[in-house]
């Protein structure tokens, strides 16, 4: 981001003033910080993304963060969590932003969007450094804990604030007279190269023009261009320049005359920056790396298992061949062994035995020719069987030795089958991991955005099969709010025929829209399932409905309506025997997914998987986790899985009336085929 971009985003972020820091995170790759805010204003639960040296803007993209925050993040939270934003400004038209907060003390957070080691510094009382991304000593200043904080040296006055004489002085200096004007302005006037190119384009001056060739009239045109840009900055017009493949090339907070090609405009500069960085620098979570590391480990295990299997096969063949060779030379081996044993019984010394056997070997005696070496200290001899030298106990017979080798061959053979099975299991794990890795790569390519909640999601809500919105209260105050603030004369009021039920209204924009029996049934269901009847375990209850004008909080003279009560006038219409069964589904769109609920017929038409719940004994939290896992497990594609995983579990919890049980799960045709 350039100085001009920082100016624009600082202006846009003024809407954060009055918000409080709800939490602070750092992503898994430690590239950027995320500040979550709460408050009333132009932004709904905003997240401020800060990537030092690169960017700073509000983001709707879901960025992965580790489950356990680092010590640095915990330190930041201890100071800044709950603090109120009281000011945001760009420092000296530089790529430096100051965020002022008031909490346990007054804090200033300085964000550097420049340098090789850009910093985030938190400064507290007496201008002392509390925390920083980097602590270091520099030529012009130090950033050290507890030390007084100094701003980096100013990069000079912005060209947007220069007058005619100041611009002339820069361009007429003797040392730059043969330099291109764009280079001189970019180096000596604050604002950056892009801004200088835009100024020159608006002034109709080639950026390669030498400074000595610039006329007074052209300087006046540059000055006029600065005034035009300042005027444009009063009302931002954020945009992105795209190439022929609709890939972003550059972003700008106002119209840039120096940019050609397709231009796409956005609602805010934060939206521009979100889109740009989302496309040029896709989010990568630690999931892919973990999958890759697991696969490498399994491949090493597989290689070791194959080597072990090959070893068993070689041993099996070797030991069997040795046993066979022993039997082929059985008489010679027995004769050699017997002669040694007899000699030892006669107490003949080993050197003498060795000498006699050497003489026998020279005489061509077969039993002596197979001897390689006598090892008295081990009670063994080494014999040569068809160039394979083995060491044997001379006190054993040749048959016993052959049988030992056959036993070794059998033992090695018995290990071959388990080794093969182990290899197959490891290969199965690798294949599964490869599949998961492919899914993970797909997941990594998906951009997930934080879903913007609609106003009606603060209540119980659903849509009827004919797209009417239904809302129901969650407590006494929201019941009252629905009837007093939300209900209009064309709406229809619903209420379960028992104490402890939400005020429920079917919203009609106009009386000309016909409400069908299906719509009445859908609205009655919402009124029924979120009533006390669910907690009581009822199988079905009756629900009545009246026009909005028949429901009132004002009692006739001399009568009293208790808090939370309502007066119904006129005839009540009934939907009888509303079954206490609620369908829960998930609706997936381009960037995210949301939980929907209502009648089974309604949800099945909008969700590929539908979970039907009834009153039961399991808590809302446990049922919510079960339902969440059903949707994740049964989703037909990695994309859907990723979006469903991103749903806040609380969305499932809010869809469940009270303790429940899962009655059954229904699938669309496509989902049935895949499940």
Contacts with 609 (C-beta within 8 Å, 6 or more apart), sequence order: 585, 586, 630, 631, 634, 635, 665, 666, 667, 668, 671
Tens-place pLDDT, residues 485-499? 899 988 999 999 998
pLDDT tens profile 291-316: 677 888 899 999 999 999 999 999 99
Joined tokens for residue 306: 């194959």
Return the pLDDT at 182.
92
DSSP string, 210-271: BGGG--HHHHHHHHHHHHHHHHHTTS---EEEE-TTS-EEEEESS--TT--SEEEE-SSHHH
Q: How confident is the model at residue 600 (pLDDT cuts 50, 70, 90)?
A: very high
Confidence of residue 448 (pLDDT cuts 50, 70, 90): low
The pLDDT tens digits of the residues spanning 139-181 come to 888 899 999 999 988 877 889 999 999 999 999 988 998 999 9
pLDDT of residue 54: 92
Topology (CATH level 3) of domain 159-232: Helicase, Ruva Protein; domain 3 (1.10.8)
Quote the mean pLDDT of the chain.
88
Instruction: State mean pLDDT over 571-590.
Output: 91
| R_g (Cα) of the chain, nearest Å | 41
Q: Which of the four pLDDT bands, split at 50, 70 and 90, describes residue 193?
A: confident
In the chain, pLDDT over 70 holds for what percent of residues?
A: 92
Residue 63 has pLDDT above 80, yes or no: no
pLDDT category of residue 23 using cuts at 50, 70 and 90: very high
- When pLDDT is averaged across residues 650-674 and rounded to a whole number, the result is 82
Higher pLDDT, 9 or 67: 9
pLDDT at 214: 92
- Show the tokens assigned to 384: 């040569």
Question: Residue 648: its pLDDT value, please?
Answer: 82
What is the sign, positive or negative, of the torsion defined by CA atoms of 246, 251, 253, 257? negative
Mention every residue, 6+ apart, whose C-beta is less than 8 A from residue 238. 8, 251, 252, 253, 254, 265, 266, 267, 268, 269, 271, 272
Is 0.85 surpassed by the pTM of this model?
A: no
Q: How far apart are CA 244 and CA 241, in angstroms?
A: 10
pLDDT at residue 437 tops 70 = no
HSE, side-chain direction, 13 A CA sphere, residue 262: 8
Q: Is the pLDDT of residue 646 over 80?
A: no
Domain boundaries, the chain: 3-143, 159-232, 239-280, 291-406, 455-579, 582-674
Task: Tell me: pLDDT of 438 over 60.
Answer: no
Domain 3-143, CATH 2.30.310.10 — does that match? yes
Distance CA 653, CA 630 (A): 14
Residue 388 has pLDDT above 90, yes or no: no
* pLDDT of 412 higher than 80: yes
**CA distances to 624, 635, 656 from 605, in Å:** 21, 16, 20
The answer, yes or no, to whether residue 41 has pLDDT greater than 70, is yes
**Banded model confidence at residue 289, pLDDT cuts 50, 70, 90:** low
For 418-436, write each residue's pLDDT tens digit: 999 999 999 998 888 776 6
Q: What distance in Å separates the CA atoms of residue 399 and residue 326, rounded to the nearest whole number?
A: 8
Q: Which of 66-80, 93-107, 269-283, 291-305 has the highest mean pLDDT?
A: 93-107
Residues 19-28: what's their mean pLDDT? 91
**Residue 235 pLDDT greater than 80, yes or no:** yes
d(CA 574, CA 494): 9
Cα 245 versus chain centre, distance = 27
**DSSP three-state, residue 637:** coil
Which range is least confidently modeled, 57-61, 474-478, 534-538, 665-669? 665-669
Percent of the chain with pLDDT over 90: 55
664: which strand partners?
Answer: 612
pLDDT of residue 282: 55
Where residue 280 falls among pLDDT bands split at 50, 70, 90?
Answer: confident
pLDDT at 518 over 90: yes
User: SS3 for 297?
Assistant: helix
Taking residues 56-72, report their average pLDDT: 85
Residue 456 has pLDDT above 60, yes or no: yes
- Answer yes or no: is pLDDT of 288 > 60: no
pLDDT, residue 246, reads 81
| Contacts with 345 (C-beta within 8 Å, 6 or more apart), sequence order | none
| Higher-confidence position of 492 and 446 | 492
pLDDT at 564: 58
Per-residue confidence band for 480, with pLDDT thresholds at 50, 70 and 90 = confident
Q: Does 199 score more than 80 pLDDT?
A: yes
pLDDT at 188 over 70: yes
How does pLDDT run across 331-369, given as a tens digit for each residue?
A: 988 999 899 899 989 999 988 988 999 899 888 888 888
User: Which of these ranges, 539-543, 631-635, 638-642, has the smallest mean pLDDT?
Assistant: 638-642
Q: How much is the average pLDDT of 623-645?
A: 83
Predicted confidence (pLDDT) at residue 442 exceeds the cutoff of 70? no
Cα separation, 158 vs 190, whole angstroms: 4
- What are the distances in angstroms from CA 341 to CA 346, 358, 370, 396? 9, 17, 17, 10
Evaluate if residue 7 carries a pLDDT over 90: yes
């Amino acid at each position: 981001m350039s100085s001009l971009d920082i100016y624009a985003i600082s202006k846009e972020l003024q809407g954060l003033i009055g918000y409080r820091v709800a939490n602070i995170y750092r992503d898994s790759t430690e590239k950027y910080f995320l500040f979550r805010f709460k408050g009333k204003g132009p932004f709904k639960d905003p997240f401020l993304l800060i990537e030092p040296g690169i960017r700073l803007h509000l983001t709707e993209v879901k960025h992965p963060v580790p489950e356990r925050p680092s010590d640095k993040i915990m330190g930041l939270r201890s100071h800044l969590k709950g603090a109120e934003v009281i000011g945001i400004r760009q420092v000296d038209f530089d790529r430096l932003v100051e965020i002022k907060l008031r909490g346990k003390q007054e804090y200033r957070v300085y964000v550097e969007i420049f340098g090789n080691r850009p910093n985030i510094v938190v400064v507290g009382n007496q201008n002392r450094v509390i925390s920083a991304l980097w602590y270091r000593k520099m030529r012009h200043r130090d950033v050290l804990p507890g030390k007084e904080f100094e701003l980096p040296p100013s990069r000079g006055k912005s060209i947007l604030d220069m007058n005619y004489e100041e611009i002339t002085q820069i361009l007429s200096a003797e040392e730059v007279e043969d330099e291109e004007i764009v280079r001189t302005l970019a180096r000596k006037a604050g604002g950056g190269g892009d801004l200088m190119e835009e100024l020159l384009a608006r002034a109709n001056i080639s950026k390669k023009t030498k400074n000595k060739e610039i006329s007074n009239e052209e300087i006046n045109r540059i000055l006029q261009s600065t005034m035009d840009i300042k005027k444009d900055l009063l009302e931002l017009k954020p945009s992105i320049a795209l190439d022929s493949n609709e890939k972003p090339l550059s972003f700008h907070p106002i119209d840039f005359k120096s940019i050609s090609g397709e231009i796409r405009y956005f609602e805010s500069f934060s939206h521009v920056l979100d889109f740009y960085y989302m496309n040029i620098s896709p989010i990568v979570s630690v999931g892919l790396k973990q999958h890759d590391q697991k696969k490498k480990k399994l491949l090493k295990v597989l290689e070791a298992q194959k080597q072990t299997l090959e070893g068993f096969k070689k041993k099996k063949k070797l030991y069997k061949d040795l046993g066979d060779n022993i039997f082929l030379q059985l008489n010679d081996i027995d004769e050699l062994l017997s002669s040694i044993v007899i000699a030892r019984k006669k107490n003949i010394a080993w050197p003498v035995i060795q000498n006699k056997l050497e003489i026998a070997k020279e005489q061509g005696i077969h039993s002596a020719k197979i001897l390689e070496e006598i090892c008295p200290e081990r009670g063994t001899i080494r014999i040569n069987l068809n160039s394979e030298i083995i060491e044997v106990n001379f006190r054993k017979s040749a048959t016993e030795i052959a049988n030992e080798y056959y036993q070794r061959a059998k033992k090695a053979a018995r290990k071959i089958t388990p080794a093969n099975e182990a290899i197959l299991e490891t290969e199965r794990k690798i294949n599964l991991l490869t599949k998961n890795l492919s899914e993970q790569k797909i997941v990594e390519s998906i951009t997930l955005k934080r879903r913007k909640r609609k106003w009606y999601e603060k209540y119980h809500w659903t849509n009827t099969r004919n797209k009417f919105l239904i809302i129901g209260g969650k407590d006494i105050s929201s019941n009252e709010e629905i009837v007093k603030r939300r209900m209009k004369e064309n709406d229809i009021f619903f209420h379960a025929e028992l104490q402890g039920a939400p005020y429920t209204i079917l919203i009609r924009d106009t009386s000309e829209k016909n409400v069908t029996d299906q719509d009445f049934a859908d609205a009655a269901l919402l009124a029924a399932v979120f009533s006390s009847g669910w907690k009581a375990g009822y199988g079905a209850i009756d629900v009545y409905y009246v026009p909005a004008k028949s429901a009132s909080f004002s009692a006739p003279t001399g009568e009293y309506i208790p808090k939370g009560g309502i007066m119904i006038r006129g005839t009540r219409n009934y939907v009888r025997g509303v079954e206490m069964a609620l369908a829960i589904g998930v609706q997936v769109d381009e960037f995210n997914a949301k939980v929907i609920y209502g009648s089974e017929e309604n949800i099945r038409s909008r969700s590929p998987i539908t979970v039907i719940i009834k009153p039961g004994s399991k808590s809302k939290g446990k049922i919510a986790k079960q339902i969440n896992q059903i949707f994740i497990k049964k989703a037909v594609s990695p994309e859907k899985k990723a979006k469903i995983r991103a749903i806040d579990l609380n969305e499932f919890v809010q869809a469940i009336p009270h303790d429940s049980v899962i009655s059954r799960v229904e699938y669309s045709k496509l989902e049935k085929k895949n499940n």
